[in-house]
Structure 1
Amino acid sequence: MKPRFLQLFLLLTPLIVGCTNQPKAPNIIYILADDMGYGDIKALNANSKIPTPHLDQLVNEGIAFTDAHSNSAVCTPTRYGTLTGQYAFRSRLKSGVLVGHEPALIEPSMPTVGSLLKQADYQTACIGKWHLGLNWAKKDTTQPLFHGGNLWDIFHTENVDYAARVSGGPCDLGFDYSFIIPASLDIAPYVYLENDQTTAAINRQVPFYKDESARGIWYRRGDVAEDFDHTTVLQTLTQKALDFIANRNEEEPFFLYFPLTSPHTPWFPSEEFAGKSKAGVYGDFVAMTDDVVGQVMQALDNAGIADNTLIIFTSDNGSHWLPKDVEQFNHSANGPFSGMKSDVWEGGHRVPMVARWPEAIKAGTKSSTLVSSTDLMATCAEISGQLTPSSACDSYSFLPALTGASSPNEQRTNIVHHSVNGTFAIRKNEWKLIDAKGSGGWSLPEGNCTDSLNQQLYNMHNDSSEQHNLYNEYPEIVKELNVLLETYKTGNEAR
């Protein structure tokens, strides 16, 4: 029995464990899809052209959040916020993402969700896409890590010691076990790292690859390990996650952070899922992603632990689904929202978020609670009966929303949005102020915008698709939100 477990649940669900009336700490699985939109899940978008039976089941058996957001519109900063409870713009990364050979972004002293739950006697595992930088060892410490090219297209990596332990990864940040790829599936190096060691030797370098027959099937050139096959990475990671669940220590709860490589490019659905959707290769890869969720759910059933396992599914940002894709397939991957991955418009960061925990969550619940991906830390702290670390200054517990319980804890009323180029937006209740003319990303770059106004103001309750800029109509709200945004940017905001 874990003494730190949430006292709140003594009031909510008096579970019988052995001969006691004390609740048992729940297992926690956090599945983070890569570039999947709000509109991809059939249960959240009746017009979706993609079959998602397992995610639909999660929606029907748990809770769906309709106002959930990634803390950034691109990969790396969202992952930073998810694990630390802190907006990534407070780190050294002010825009963009990291690539495979860049150093670790999370400082060694920074608490993570992994280290927090490890303190509460959880078994902790990270399996999947890392994309938070790693400290690769050098063969010759007097020389640079690599020569020539740039971080996105490195020419020579002879000085990277792939056989040495990599620091700054999951095992240095609170995870007992890890099996990861360094970055996205289209960013080198293409290697598996198990407990911060490569699993096979680097035996070749692949050139830039692109399949001209369909969009989204491509990856950058770089080093490849002998056991690495782009087309089977999702299957390999899934099996590792299933193995972890099956081989866990049954006497202790576990936390599995499971960041998927899909449906990010390259789109490589297996043969079983080819043609499964009516949204092209992307849709087929989303269908395969849904099947991964189903396999995890089945593993929980097989182990007899589904009832006391909190499983959360969400995405690191919106889908990279272009207007031409919407037109071709009549499928809106980002639902009714404007923009896409990279943008500070809603399509860039309004994400699907579904959770199931049969012993605590009422089936078929919908919640309009404002949630950020940074909120995992505070939620896990409350679940495990611990204080939220002071460094997790941007994290608010959404446990009361999960359980429907009242809580004295402060709830989130505002949230900061951040785009690929570092554009900010601030949301407070129904109002959203964007500190730019355009999308802050790829949909409408600032230089392509002809609007005379330098900012945008939208009422998200009445205009969630951001079609009517009310900047001139509500100057006092614009002023208030600019002041609030500045406090966040300077680090002076009050909790």
Structure 2
Amino acid sequence: MTTPPFLIALFATIVALEAAPKPNIVYILADDMGYGDVRCLNPERGKIATPHIDRLAEEGMIFTDAHSSSSVCTPTRYGILTGRYNWRTQLQQGVLWGYSAPLIEADRLTVPALLKKQGYKTAMVGKWHLGMDLPVLEGKPIMDGPPDSRKPRQTHIDWKGEIKNGPVDRGFDYLYGISASLDMAPYIWIENDRFVGEADNSKPPQPAPGFVKAQVLPEIGRKTVEYIRKQDASQPFFVYVPLTSPHTPIVPTEEWKGKSGLGSYGDFQMQTDHVIGEIMKAVDASPFADNTLVIVTADNGCSKAAKIDRLEAQGHFPSAQFRGSKADLWDGGHRVPFIVRWPKGVKPGSTSEQTICLTDLMATCAELSGTTVPDGAGEDSVSFAPALKGEPIASSRQGVIHHSISGHFAYRQGKWKLLLAKGSGGWTSPTEKQAAKDAPVAQLYDLEKDPGETNNLYDSHPEVAARLLAQLEADVTSGRSTKGSEAKNDVAEIQLWKSGK
């Protein structure tokens, strides 16, 4: 019996994948860095120098249509590590705090856990912000006051106890980082499942001895460099580097103050670029540089804390040509920088205009490591590996779902974008409370003609709006947006319309 040609080709592909060395993966996630904060992405209206990220783009590929799965921190991080939209969980809006319980369930597959099964070493250096079970003193609650607070009056943490259900229990071999953002206590380093030192339970906002907020960003860079230098070509590694910048508190160190000429935010963004450059140098100096995939992206758009109006008055537009910023449904809230360098697999100076989402990391890592995403995992993840070779992404996902801080939904398919909100759905004016009473209940934009989302076509193109809404409803209720085994959301009902209808 003659073997069919397609089976021969399939077998040859499988053999080639198994024989090829698996790429190392360095995933750097900036915090609140707008699309326009990277000079090469915003050459006409970007005034902050970012030479290291620009060089990464020159040596690799720019994705011009990449989106975080949410326009705020915690939800996006959940999507990155699980390949699943956050609103399928109990977290329907907002973010977690520094003392929050874990959002990722113990039986949920994560990107590092998947890669460990493929023989990878896995590490995380930086900001977690996905909750963990902190040890408490016997018989005490974790804090006095509301059970989930940014600034509790008093805590009852056992600083010598074991932390459970954090990064090292969710697939990472090694952790050096902090529990949440730098504007959320506790302010103390964590290594693996232990605190580094002790903080004062009677003064939760007080950092632990030796913990200096302005030194956290450079320390993340140093620890990442240290980790990379310890690796060799005998075993592939994945290191996830969620930075704390340029998120608040905006604290550039002394040597960076005044560098940008645009104020502290510009200075902090320049320092962020510098730290990314130091990590790149460590990769370049290694014997495995050619087979190391470096990704630089961000969890959402620029924050209002950057004083966007002041920056724009000086000629710098953090969202480039896009409307809105962090927390919003408009593209400025979730269209993010996404730059990839992989000397062995990506053509230098290339660009992809294909739409991708940060939930796509899991399926991409699976393909690059020679496996597939198993049933019951990565329900909203599509591999962008073909795009790295300049090929079309093969996707069973019909579109990408956007989500704002208040839980408002939007749906993107091709050139069309439907927003189930009257205003920004976030912090930019007009907010939902500020929107005119007679405003259309939703928004529809043709992003090819109107990337700035200024001409609402919802009333004039009802058939397009109806088609996108039907697909959004299907993706939400089915528990997944890709083809695969039956899936369920963690909550019985998800409210799509929050501003009417």
Note whether the superposition's TM-score is higher than 0.5.
Answer: yes
Which of 106, 111, 114 is 2:104 aligned to? 106
Which moves more between the two structures, 444-453 or 221-230? 221-230
Which of 58, 61, 64 is 1:60 aligned to? 58
| Other-structure match for 2:144 | 147
1:330 aligns with 2:310: no
Partners of 2:164 and 2:193 within 8 A in 1: yes
1:258 aligns with 2:254: no
Which of 473, 478, 484 is 2:465 aligned to? 478
The sequence identity of aligned pairs, in percent, is 45
Partners of 2:233 and 2:288 within 8 A in 1: no
Which of 358, 362, 382 is 2:367 aligned to? 382
Q: 1:9 to 1:238 in 2, by over 3 A?
A: farther
| Other-structure match for 1:342 | 327
Partners of 1:371 and 1:412 within 8 A in 2: no
Which of 462, 469, 490 is 2:449 aligned to? 462
Structure 1: runs of 5+ lacking an equivalent: 1-6, 16-20, 207-220
Structure 2: runs of 5+ lacking an equivalent: 1-8, 484-501
Q: Partners of 2:119 and 2:98 in 1: how far apart?
A: 32
Partners of 1:27 and 1:309 within 8 A in 2: yes
Residue type at the aligned position of 1:198: F
Residue type at the aligned position of 2:440: L
Which of 423, 426, 429 is 1:441 aligned to? 426
Which of 174, 178, 181 is 1:181 aligned to? 178
Residue type at the aligned position of 1:191: I
| Other-structure match for 1:212 | none
Q: Partners of 2:372 and 2:19 in 1: how far apart?
A: 20
Superposition TM-score, scaled by structure 2 size: 0.89
Q: How far is the alpha carbon of 1:153 from its aligned partner?
A: 2.2
| Other-structure match for 2:385 | 399
Q: Partners of 1:251 and 1:43 in 2: how far apart?
A: 35
Q: 2:471 aligns to what SS in structure 1?
A: helix
Which of 461, 464, 474 is 1:487 aligned to? 474
Q: 1:437 aligns to what SS in structure 2?
A: coil
1:188-223 deviations in whole A, cap 9, x for unaligned?
Answer: 0001110021011114766xxxxxxxxxxxxxx624
Superposition TM-score, scaled by structure 1 size: 0.90
Residue type at the aligned position of 1:187: M
Q: Partners of 1:414 and 1:325 in 2: how far apart?
A: 35
Q: 1:249 to 1:360 in 2, by over 3 A?
A: closer
Q: 1:103 to 1:223 in 2, by over 3 A?
A: farther
Residue type at the aligned position of 1:384: S
Q: 1:48 to 1:89 in 2, by over 3 A?
A: same
Residue type at the aligned position of 2:257: A
Q: Partners of 2:183 and 2:448 in 1: how far apart?
A: 37
Partners of 1:434 and 1:456 within 8 A in 2: yes
1:77-127 deviations in whole A, cap 9, x for unaligned?
Answer: 000000000000011111000000110000011100000000000010011
Q: 1:154 aligns to what SS in structure 2?
A: coil
Residue type at the aligned position of 2:387: A
Q: Partners of 1:384 and 1:153 in 2: how far apart?
A: 42
Q: Partners of 1:45 and 1:64 in 2: how far apart?
A: 12
Q: How far is the alpha carbon of 1:278 from its aligned partner?
A: 3.2
Q: Partners of 1:57 and 1:294 in 2: how far apart?
A: 9
Q: 1:225 aligns to what SS in structure 2?
A: coil
Which of 192, 203, 224 is 1:195 aligned to? 192
Which moves more between the two structures, 272-281 or 459-468? 272-281
Q: 1:268 to 1:473 in 2, by over 3 A?
A: same
| Other-structure match for 2:488 | none
Q: How far is the alpha carbon of 1:175 from its aligned partner?
A: 0.6
Residue type at the aligned position of 1:474: H
Partners of 2:290 and 2:342 within 8 A in 1: yes
| Other-structure match for 2:289 | 306
| Other-structure match for 1:270 | 253
Task: Tell me the number of residue pairs that the alignment of Structure 1 and Structure 2 aligns.
Answer: 467
1:148-175 deviations in whole A, cap 9, x for unaligned?
Answer: 2561221010x22122111111110111
Which of 122, 129, 133 is 1:124 aligned to? 122
Which moves more between the two structures, 483-492 or 99-108? 483-492
| Other-structure match for 2:3 | none
| Other-structure match for 2:355 | 370
1:110-147 deviations in whole A, cap 9, x for unaligned?
Answer: 10000000000001001100000011122124x42211
Partners of 1:345 and 1:439 within 8 A in 2: yes
Q: 2:465 aligns to what SS in structure 1?
A: helix
Q: 2:113 aligns to what SS in structure 1?
A: helix
Partners of 1:268 and 1:285 within 8 A in 2: yes
| Other-structure match for 1:217 | none
Q: Partners of 1:11 and 1:285 in 2: how far apart?
A: 46
1:309-348 deviations in whole A, cap 9, x for unaligned?
Answer: 0000000000014552344322101111111100011000
Which of 67, 72, 75 is 1:74 aligned to? 72
Q: Partners of 2:174 and 2:468 in 1: how far apart?
A: 43
1:285 aligns with 2:268: yes
Q: Partners of 1:448 and 1:152 in 2: how far apart?
A: 27
Which of 19, 36, 41 is 2:38 aligned to? 41
Partners of 2:368 and 2:385 within 8 A in 1: yes
Q: 1:458 aligns to what SS in structure 2?
A: strand
1:229 aligns with 2:212: yes
1:364-393 deviations in whole A, cap 9, x for unaligned?
Answer: 111111110000000000001111133211
Which moves more between the two structures, 38-47 or 124-133? 38-47
Q: How far is the alpha carbon of 1:277 from its aligned partner?
A: 1.2
Partners of 1:10 and 1:22 within 8 A in 2: no
